[in-house]
Amino acid sequence: MTTSAPSTASAVDTADAVRHRAHALPHPAPVDASRWPDVARAPRLSRTRAAIARLIVRRAFARLPLRVQWGDGPVTGSAGPVLRIRDPHAFFRRIGADGLIGFGESRMAGEWDADDLVGVLTVLAAHVTDLVPAPLQRLRGRWAQRQPGTERNTLQGARENIHRHYDLSNDLFALFLDATMTYSSAIFRNLPANRDDLAGAQRRKIDRLLDLADVGPDTRLLEIGTGWGELALRAAARGARVVTVTLSREQRDLAVRRIAEAGHADRVSVRLCDYREVDGSYDAVVSVEMIEAVGEEYWPVYFRHLHRLLAPGGRIALQAITIAHDRMLATRGDYTWIHKYVFPGGIIPSVRAIEQVAADTGLRIARADAYAEHYAETLRLWRERFTSRAGHLAELGFDETFRRMWEFYLAYCEAGFRARYLDVHQLLLTGAGMPVALTEDGGAR
């Protein structure tokens, strides 16, 4: 929108700007514009569009179990966690220009904060479908940003997308992960969990996937997405022969070292390649939270390769973050804050979408188990450890804006699982006509 605003909108906008200048809460240190150009300054926006954003946001917040402080004014609302908007003027401009991307960038800029960040984000996630009035939601295609073609998961594009996240620094991930260096949902014996439970819960998750895939002595196992090597280590300890593939050089280098130190180099081959470049025949395929990075366009390719690589009678065990099918359809092409700053090129599938695409390639889901509450706890433990050790970030070359971004990312994801906007599933896939016997705890025989 570029037209000039009606006089009433202009007056409201001017008054809000005056209040902002006079009463805004202290602002954090300036953002480095060379590193964070879209965070360093709020976007230019017509007064009309800013006024509309202000109206929508204020009305939406008023309906939520949320208390809000605008500038240094009083806290409004009677229930819920407190959202503190330090800079209302910039906050509305960012949301009016870029929606939820602007909301995240405003947090990175320090323009808003919360006493209970996860609590605020959980309220928003639980009401995400009705924050914007229905008439405006029908116009979504006109204002929602679309994923850029440069982030398509071609062979080269996938390498670049993975590099932007997983090659940040092994030391960064070691700040908040447990000793297993496992970067996916754990499965706990009891909830809520304690920090000391995390490594055992990660091994429990891995063992359950290996059981689903029936991995044992001399199993030919393909792992798509090495991580830092823990699953390959545990499979090799069972006597399996493992080929594991990754696109991250940082992950590959540490995984190779860990596998050698554990004495399993003769059983595990770590390859720096795309899943589309793998050949051979395998009794089992395991992939943990990698399908989210495949991209909807390439789901058929992904499952065709799985089917082609699987030996007769073989099994596939996947762990996948999932979303409700209707939400996936509504947002499938959107460009989000997560795409821009954390995971470029990804899309979270629904179980129905996985089932449909897999069926087209001769595979079927034989079992599906959900663990949303376990992922919420995993993320809480990561976030708490990251926050407690954030003082080390500067030593690794990361600034204050990165710290706010990463804390927001972990809290944002945790809130998604707590609100059940997101889920995580362990899926067993087999050939369409293959019977599967399951043990009492869900393992495959």
**Three-state DSSP class for residue 57:** helix
Measure CA 288 to chain center. 13
Strands (E), 371-435: 422-431
Burial classification of residue 383, based on how many CB atoms lie within 10 Å of its CB (0-12 exposed, 13-18 middle, 19 or more buried): buried
Angle at 332 between CA 329 and CA 336, to 5 degrees: 135
Catalytic residue list: 413
- 320/289 Cα distance (integer angstroms): 5
Cis link prior to 312 (omega < 30° from 0)?
A: no
| For helices 400-418 and 117-126, angle between their N-to-C axes, nearest 10 degrees | 50
Which residues contact residue 385 at a Cβ distance below 8 angstroms, ignoring those fewer than 6 apart?
Answer: 175, 176, 195
- Element (H or E) spanning 222, and its range? strand 220-224
- 439/445 Cα distance (integer angstroms): 7
Q: Parallel, antiparallel, or unpaired for β 112-114 and 220-224? A: unpaired
Q: Answer whether 287's CB lies under 8 Å from 223's CB.
A: yes
Measured distance between the N- and C-terminal CA atoms of the chain, rounded to whole angstroms:
61
Q: Parallel, antiparallel, or unpaired for β 241-246 and 268-272? A: parallel
- Eight-state DSSP code of residue 205: H
In the chain, count H helices and then E strands: 18, 11
Neighbours of 369 (CB within 10 A): 14
Tokens standing for 56? 């929508």
Phi, psi of 313 (to 5 degrees): 80, 0
Q: Parallel, antiparallel, or unpaired for β 67-70 and 75-76? A: antiparallel
Q: What CA–CA distances, in Å, run from 174 to 8, 165, 226?
A: 53, 14, 16
Q: Which amino acid is at 114?
A: A
Q: Answer whether 172's CB lies under 8 Å from 164's CB.
A: no
**423 pairs with which residues across the strands?**
322
**Three-state DSSP class for residue 111:** coil
